[in-house]
A and B are shown apart, each in its own frame.
Chain A
Amino acid sequence: KNQVEQSPQSLIILEGKNCTLQCNYTVSPFSNLRWYKQDTGRGPVSLTIMTFSENTKSNGRYTATLDADTKQSSLHITASQLSDSASYICVVSGDSSGGYNKLIFGAGTRLAVHP
């Protein structure tokens, strides 16, 4: 069964600190992996997209890594800010037999940054 699992479920850190969120997946076939940020009451916003051949991708203070052999990804947030408080969702795109990339979402990690 295609699954995307994230850890931890929730995380509290102090402003200015770094953190790393984890994602394991069993989706096959694999096309690409995305990290989304979802603020409370809003739709998800794409942070990074990585294909099979990419093992790292940065977007400002966000750096995502991908190990396609072990089917693991991480999202590292540097020098956290209060505005980073949100849910971070790992999304794997695999089956494209329907002519599009079907997305499978993890449950997300809820991050709270405290002053």
Chain B
Amino acid sequence: GAGVSQTPSNKVTEKGKYVELRCDPISGHTALYWYRQSLGQGPEFLIYFQGTGAADDSGLPNDRFFAVRPEGSVSTLKIQRTERGDSAVYLCASSPRTGGPTDTQYFGPGTRLTVL
């Protein structure tokens, strides 16, 4: 079956612009996570959805970042007034459920965002 997909794979934008990054989780997965990975670093947690609701958005760096998952499947990460420091790979992951100690998160290939 299909894995987690993310679009676009690469996005180049200018400072101050608005961008949207899309994540299609594995069908039936109720939990969805967004991470940001800077060069040479491990992913950092941004936000977690259980179904349609954002159960934990404590990782969002500021109010320029926002994410939605209106129907409990596809999610969109939205970044307003982009800054050069937002340049990173944005990873999405999904898992079948939540709470299980060995619940595996399946990652997408990421979207590489470059802010000029």
Q: How far is the CB of A20 from chain B (nearest CB, A)?
A: 19
Chain A residue contacts of B41, Cβ below 8 A: 107-108
Residues of B35-94 contacting chain A, CB below 8 A: 35, 40-45, 48, 50, 55-56, 91, 93
The answer to whether A41 and B109 touch across the interface, beta carbons within 8 angstroms, is: yes
Chain A residue contacts of B98, Cβ below 8 A: 99-101
Q: How far is the CB of B85 from chain A (nearest CB, A)?
A: 18
- Give the size category of B's interface with A: 20 to 34
User: With an 8 A cutoff between CB atoms, is B105 at the interface?
Assistant: yes
User: With an 8 A cutoff between CB atoms, is A22 at the interface?
Assistant: no
A43 CB contact (under 8 Å) in B4, B40, B44, B103: B4
How long is the Cα–Cα vector from A96 to B99 in the complex, in angstroms?
7
User: With an 8 A cutoff between CB atoms, is A12 at the interface?
Assistant: no
Cβ-closest chain A residue relative to B4:
A43
User: With an 8 A cutoff between CB atoms, is B1 at the interface?
Assistant: no
How long is the Cα–Cα vector from A49 to B101 in the complex, in angstroms?
9
- Give the size category of A's interface with B: 20 to 34
How long is the Cα–Cα vector from A51 to B101 in the complex, in angstroms?
8
A105 CB contact (under 8 Å) in B40, B42, B106: B42
How long is the Cα–Cα vector from A99 to B105 in the complex, in angstroms?
15
User: With an 8 A cutoff between CB atoms, is A79 at the interface?
Assistant: no
Q: How far is the CB of B2 from chain A (nearest CB, A)?
A: 14
Chain B: residues with CB nearer than 8 A to chain A? 4, 31, 35, 40-45, 48, 50, 55-56, 91, 93, 98-110
